[in-house]
Chains A and B, each alone.
Chain A
Amino acid sequence: MYTLRTWFNTLIIGPLAIVWLFVSGLLAAPFLLLFPDKTGRRVRRFVYLQSRGIMFFVRLCARKFTVRPLPHPSTPCIVVANHASALDLYTVSVLGFRHVLYITKGWVFKLPFFRFVMRGAGYVDAEKTPPEEMLALCKRGLENGCDIVLFPQGSRKNPQARFKSGAFYLAEMLQVPVIPVAISGTEEMLPSGSLCLHPANITLTTLPAVNAADFNGPVVHLEMARTVRKQIMDVVNKENVK
């Protein structure tokens, strides 16, 4: 439904958020280019600050904005979240994940401007990177203190889609905890394929860590994927009926 608030969000706040993305990018670019670092830490820090800015605009668009974080585990971890909106990418910043390495689909690496940031930050192309190299890159990222962020549904088209097991395979192989994050309301605010920003109740919830060692099945990473999906979707579905 298109309310007055939808038009205000879409015509005023949305463009302001885009201006923020470009202005912050233009201001940061000379510093990032003049003082490059091999690990991509500075670019990731910049992405974190940009994400916090975007989440400020999301707060302005929301009817209600609730964040339920948990303390960060003592070690770097793999963060997995459901994915139904382009806004989801920015949400982990408000849950206390500051230094993150995203693993995303290949098309994001082709976007103008974004591709420079993606490469500079050392983000990983899930489609082009062979499994052995993926493991090595993630291991290095974790050793550098990064949390690895994935959206195991792989696409925004079906909010209830199954979780692909790659993230959980990484967690099992690298022996790090998986932190499930439940995102609800972003799908209502900015659905896939839409340019309108609808007012919505946004709730971001961090769930307790899940470890591969807690599973006994024949294929641990598939079991983990099913369990974590259920945990996340239970929270999301509960929030959506509120």
Chain B
Amino acid sequence: MAANEAYISGIGQSEIGTKLTRSPLLLTVDAVREALDEAGLTIGQIDGVSTYPGRVPAFLGFSPVGADELIDALGIRATWYAGGGEITSQLGAVVAAAAAVRAGQARHVICFRTVYEAAALARPDEYSRPQRDRVDGSSQWTAPFNAISAVNWTAQYAMVHVKRYGLKREQLAQIALTARANAALNPRALVREPLTMDEYLSARMISSPLCLYDCDRFTDASTVIIVSAGSALDEVKCTPVRIAAMAGSVERHSWDQAEEMACYPTGADLWKRTDYKPADVDTVQLYDGFSFQAVAWLEALGFCKFGEGGSFIEGGKRIALDGELPLNTFGGQIGAGRLHGFGFAHEAVVQLRGKGGARQIAGDPRVAISTSGGGPLATALLLARD
């Protein structure tokens, strides 16, 4: 173990559901408790907290719990903490924590992402969204055209692949079919029923070429990743997973001015920061808020060339649980629920520790990639069990 490196120690997850009544703070505490238990740490040993995107009062379902609240609720004596949305997407919070422990600012950092979008929608009196007369900021460039959802923005990147590179619906379907097959083996997954190709192809279109099953759905859950300093691993009882490389980028922080998505420069940068090669990777956990993002990440990370993502996943065998590059083995966000980025880091650690149960990949996986975002913001982590 290298003293100056950052490791993932404990990981935890709350129940994953919709319209949960347990409060978002307590869901977060559930995930914290599980992560501490696994790491063999007590809350008194935690000296840092990192979250994305911090508490968002204007849209509480999106992010109901901030670092401030968790720190005070659990009596954490933090020497470093951070929380905010102006970072290279959700796993940017893990990147920040890794940088902090490497710089000696903290020893054990709780990183968390708590979502409560389904409950908030069901209980608008408690979690209302403000009604604005007029839109401003970046929304003004899309909302007046009723390009309201990220699906509208992502779909246009996907359409370039359909029209210029021949991406077929039957190919794109493999992301959703793989996710749902894997979710069926994950006891915590939100959707446990497998999806057939016929069901996919006959689903209603949301924003072409993306149909209902290409989209994740509102979820209530919390995910925790504890990042520990290499010099503090003697306090940790679980197998540490090294954060071997990290990369992130922002493409204009805009869904329409950037010609291509931020996953591409991020994927290229990741390989500049490590001696590992794509062929060394045992499993990939790639952001799939919309299925096409996972396709783009496969291209961005160099598993295939730009525009060849569709043929790379054709038939689904390659990315299946028993394939050469198992993808989103927990079900991704499409199957397991919209954990919003953190689920991908959680699952990489599960697999690298051999704790996947019915969904554990074969062999002795040692290297995994986790990503979040991919549109205007992107983060990629290369994780290794040494």
A binds B: no
Please list the residues of chain B having a beta carbon within 8 angstroms of any beta carbon in chain A.
Answer: none
Hey, which bits of chain A sit against chain B, CB under 8 A?
A: none
